Amino acid sequence: MFRLDSKVAVVTGAGSGIGAAIAETFAGQGARVFVLEVDEASGAGTVQRILDAGGGADAVACDVSSSSSVTTAFEAVVSAAGRLDILVNNAGIAHVGTVETTTEADLDRIYAVNVKGVHLCSQAGVRQMLKNGGGAILNLASIASLIGLLDRFAYSMSKGAVLSMTRSIAVDYVKQGIRCNCVAPARVHTPFVDGYLKNTYPGREQEMFQQLSEYQPVGRMGRPDEVAALALYLCSDEASFITGQCYPIDGGVLVF
């Protein structure tokens, strides 16, 4: 079950964290994975780990907020692999702030990557999938798309848009064999979290790490590989009856 043999998958922002875990998991299940990453060094690192493990992967430079960059990247994928079966829109950036403290520049920056990036990559992906007879798209939303979070005004805006785009794509292309779903994680322990704690709470990293962990009722943050396992299911043929859905992976946040 959950094999992706002969599938071609694109994972954006797969140089680290959740994206890297998804890329490595998909490759481990037989997919040929294209790592689209603006940070070329980190993208190459993910590809090397996949190759070292016996999988198939290629690194493609891509700034998801740029139409020309996305077009060039997807053309490279199709030129190399001949098709596209799976697209994971993982690339995203964070922002801390309320409606008062969020500047116009902050909002534009978040929108460019988290919203426009999903639009551009989905547009390119759908156009190719239509030629192949269908495919699966998975977007990375957040619990911020489902509930209010303190000091996450711009970020929540962007992830709410991701949820809405997910449902729109699912409705528009269900008859053409394209499925589109999203996952909504709570806090996941990634290098971004470590960097945030180091920069924001110098000397108090461990204390704040524990506080952030306890926000989830299970008492810890999620792991990238746990999100990757859910992503694998939703992009596999075993999930062929699922489209237009949002799957929380939140350690109990939405229940308690």
pLDDT tens by residue, 19-40: 999 999 999 999 999 999 999 9
What pLDDT is attached to residue 136? Answer: 99
What pLDDT is attached to residue 235? Answer: 98
Closest to 30 in 3D by CA, of 10, 60, 46, 54: 54
pTM of the prediction? 0.97
Please answer whether residues 74 and 128 qualify as being in contact, where contact means their C-beta atoms are separated by less than 8 angstroms. yes
pLDDT tens by residue, 170-222: 999 999 999 999 999 999 999 989 999 999 999 999 999 999 999 999 999 99
Q: Which position among 155, 201, 233, 247 bears the catalytic label?
A: 155
Arithmetic mean of pLDDT over the chain:
97
pLDDT at 256 over 90: no
pLDDT tens by residue, 90-113: 999 999 999 999 999 999 999 999
Q: Is 247 a catalytic residue?
A: no
pLDDT tens by residue, 219-248: 999 999 999 999 999 999 999 999 999 999
